[in-house]
Amino acid sequence: MKKSTKKSVDIVPIKPGKDAGFYSKTVKDHFFHPKNFMEKEKGYKADGMGMVGSPACGDVMKVWIKVDKKTDRIKDLKWKTFGCASAIAATSMMSVMVTEKKGMKLEDAMKLKPQDIVSRLSGLPTRKIHCSVLGDKALRGAINDYYRRSGQPEKIQIETGRVIDYVLKITDQDIEHAVLDGADTLAKVQQKTKVGTGDPTCIPEVEQLIRFYKEKYFGA
């Protein structure tokens, strides 16, 4: 199947491959049978929409939410992506997590981390952890968009830290957290954050930050 030439973001078809055995049963279920995937964008009345990534670098995530105004809970979430099986599985799981049990409170959804999603998936192969970082960023964008549309600008939360990769919106704080989590090389930091895959011009600064945080926390 060829990628769509339309401006909307389409899902990449998933086929069994040699890596399939490395994934948990939960991961396989979510990328072979993704939950809450946006089938028909036209006519869907979202309360907020968020998008992160760029078609030029191959990874795009788009998320729509509907909010229960009385309870500030997410009552529905839809998504589309260009991305690998792990990105699809992670976003599918995220969509379940924020809509189950009458929906997650917006303030709690803002705090959702890739590690939370990976844990619910029963893990991902190390080289695929970085694929789980797009969904939560797009979700926060959708929540901020909802706050804008609903006249609640005081609740908008800007991504903390200084933006390093302006395409994927990776901050210096994201890199710091990756180093603290054991990523001591550029390759390992990219596995966790994808920094530099959206904007390769930032890589020298990323390498400098890695050295800084390694010396700061580990004296190396």
138 and 185 share one domain: no
pLDDT recorded at residue 18: 40
d(CA 31, CA 92): 8
- Residue 66, classed as helix, strand or coil, is strand
Walking along the chain (220 residues) 10 residues at a time, the average pLDDT comes out as 40 38 79 89 93 67 95 96 82 95 96 86 71 82 96 87 89 86 91 89 95 80
pTM of the predicted structure, to 2 decimals: 0.69
> d(Cα 46, Cα 43) in Å, to the nearest integer?
9
**What is residue 189's predicted lDDT score, i.e. its pLDDT?**
94
CA–CA gap between residue 59 and residue 15 (Å, rounded) = 18
Q: For helices 85-99 and 25-32, what crossing angle results, to 10°?
A: 90
Position 141 scores a pLDDT of: 93
Q: What is the pLDDT of residue 71?
A: 96
At 148-201, the pLDDT tens digits run 999 999 999 877 788 999 998 899 988 988 887 789 999 999 998 899 988 899
In this prediction, residue 56 carries a pLDDT of 53
CATH number at residue 215: 1.10.10.1100
Element housing 75 (H / E): strand 73-82
Q: Which domain holds residue 54?
A: 1-158
Q: What is the pLDDT of residue 12?
A: 36
Amino acid sitting at position 201: T
The total number of structural domains in the chain stands at 2
> Which phi and psi angles does 181 have, rounded to 5°?
-90, 10
Domain co-membership, 37 together with 57: yes
- Residue-level pLDDT at 54: 60
pLDDT reported for residue 36: 94
Q: 45 and 146 share a domain?
A: yes
* Residues 143 and 62 placed together within one structural domain of the fold: yes
Domain final residue pick, 116, 134, 158 = 158
Residues 208, 119 share a domain: no
Nearest alpha carbon to residue 40 among 2, 8, 68: 8
196 and 141 in a common domain: no
Tokens of 103: 């929906």
Whether 218 and 191 share a structural domain: yes
The pLDDT value recorded for residue 105 is 98
Residues 178, 215, single domain; the answer is: yes
What are the residue numbers of the active site? 57, 131
Q: Are 152 and 164 in a shared domain?
A: no
Give the rounded percent of residues in the chain with a pLDDT score beyond 90.
44
Measuring CA to CA, how many Å separate 48 from each of 36, 37, 40, 184? 16, 16, 16, 37
